[in-house]
Chain A
Amino acid sequence: MNVFTRLNGEIMVLAQQNIDTDQIIPARFLTTTSFEGLGDHLFADWRRDASGQEKPECVLNQPRARHSPILVAGRNFGCGSSREHAPHALLDFGFRVVISSEIADIFSNNCQNVGLLPIVLPEDQHRHLMGLDGQEITVDLVTRSIFVCGSHDNDVRFEFEIDGFARRCLLQGMDRLDFLLAEEKAIKAHECVLEART
Chain B
Amino acid sequence: MPQPKTLYDRLWDAHLVRAESGDTPAVMYIDLHLVHEVTSPQGFDMLRKRKLAVRRPDRTVATMDHSTPTLPADENGRLPYATDQAEKQVEYLRENCAEFGIKLHDFDSGNRGIVHVIGPELGATQPGMTIVCGDSHTSTHGAFGALAFGIGSTEVAYVLATQCVLQRKAKNMRITVNGELPKGSSAKDLALHIINRLGVNGGTGHVIEYSGSAIRALDMESRMTLCNMAIEAGTRAGMVAPDNITIEYLRGREMAPKGDDFEAKARQWLALVSDESAVFDQEIEIDASNVLPTITYGTNPGMSIPIQGIVPESMSATAKRALDYMAIDVGKSLSGRRVDVVFIGSCTNGRISDLRVAAEILRNRRVADNVRMLVVPGSEAVRKQAETEGLHEIFLKAGAEWRLPGCSMCIAMNGDIVAPGKTAVSTSNRNFEGRQGAGARTMLASPATAAACAVAGVVTDPRSFGVSREVA
Which residues of A pack against B, CB within 8 Å? 15-18, 20, 22-23, 26-28, 30-35, 45, 50, 74-76, 79-84, 87, 102, 104-106, 109-110, 113-114, 163-165, 168, 176-177, 179-181, 183-184, 186-187, 189-191, 194
Contact = CB atoms under 8 A, between A and B. Distances in A.
Contacts of B29: 187, 190-191, 194
Secondary structure of the B side of the interface? Answer: loop
Interface string B1-32: 00000000000000001100011110101000
Contacts of B24: 165, 179
Nearest to B435: A22
B164 interface: yes
A23 B435 CA distance: 9
A45 B236 contact: no
B415 to A, nearest CB: 10
A6 B188 CA distance: 46
6 contacts: A22-B433, A27-B411, A81-B136, A84-B39, A165-B25, A176-B158
B447 to A, nearest CB: 22
A50 B419 CA distance: 11
B42 A79 contact: no
A113 B432 contact: no
A23 B83 contact: no
A172 B321 CA distance: 41
Interface stretch (B84-92, B341-349, B355-363, B372-380): B84-92
Nearest to B138: A82
Interface of B: 17-18, 22-25, 27, 29, 38-39, 41-42, 45-46, 50, 52, 55, 66-67, 83, 85-86, 88-89, 92, 134-136, 149-155, 157-158, 161-164, 166, 168, 170, 200-201, 204-205, 231-232, 234, 236, 300, 316-318, 321, 411-413, 420, 430, 432-435, 438-439
Nearest to B420: A50
Contacts of B163: 187, 191
Contacts of B205: 105
A110 B430 CA distance: 20
Nearest to B206: A105
Contacts of A35: 42, 153
B42 A34 contact: yes
Contacts of B157: 177
Given A28-B413, A76-B234, A186-B27, A106 B136 contact: yes
A187 B89 CA distance: 32
A125 to B, nearest CB: 18
B154 A33 contact: no
A31 B151 contact: no
Contacts of A190: 17, 29
B262 to A, nearest CB: 12
A133 to B, nearest CB: 15
